[in-house]
Amino acid sequence: MKFFIDTANLNEIKEANDLGILDGVTTNPSLMAKEGIKGQDNILKHYVDICNIVDGDVSAEVIATDYEGIVKEGEALSALHPQIVVKVPMIKDGIKAIRHFSDNGIKTNCTLVFSAGQAILAAKAGATYVSPFIGRLDDVSTDGVDLIAQIAHIYNIYDFKTEVLAASIRHSMHIVKCAEVGADVVTCPLKPILGLLSHPLTDIGLEKFLADHKKA
Ligand code: E4P
Domain that holds residue 193: 2-215
Q: Please state the domain count of the chain.
A: 1
Q: How confident is the model at residue 147 (pLDDT cuts 50, 70, 90)?
A: very high
Q: Which pLDDT tens digit goes with each residue over 107-118?
A: 999 999 999 999
Q: Is the pLDDT of residue 216 over 90?
A: no
Ligand 1 centroid from CA 168, angstroms:
4
Pocket probe for ligand 1: among 4, 9, 27, 28, the residue whose CB has the most ligand atoms within 8 Å is 28
Whole-model pTM: value is 0.96
Give the pLDDT confidence score for residue 203 in this predicted structure.
97
CATH number at residue 32: 3.20.20.70
Instruction: Mark out the alpha helices in 38-111 (DSSP H runs).
Output: 40-53, 67-80, 92-103
Give the pLDDT confidence score for residue 199 in this predicted structure.
96
Q: Which of 87, 92, 177, 208 is flagged as catalytic?
A: 87
Q: Is the pLDDT of residue 130 over 90?
A: yes
Q: Please state, rounded to an integer, the average pLDDT across all residues of the chain.
A: 97
CA separation for the pair 192, 169 (Å, rounded): 8
Ligand 1 centroid from CA 109, angstroms:
12
Q: Is the pLDDT of residue 186 over 90?
A: yes
In the DSSP assignment, the letter for residue 78 is H
Annotation marks residue 72 as catalytic: no
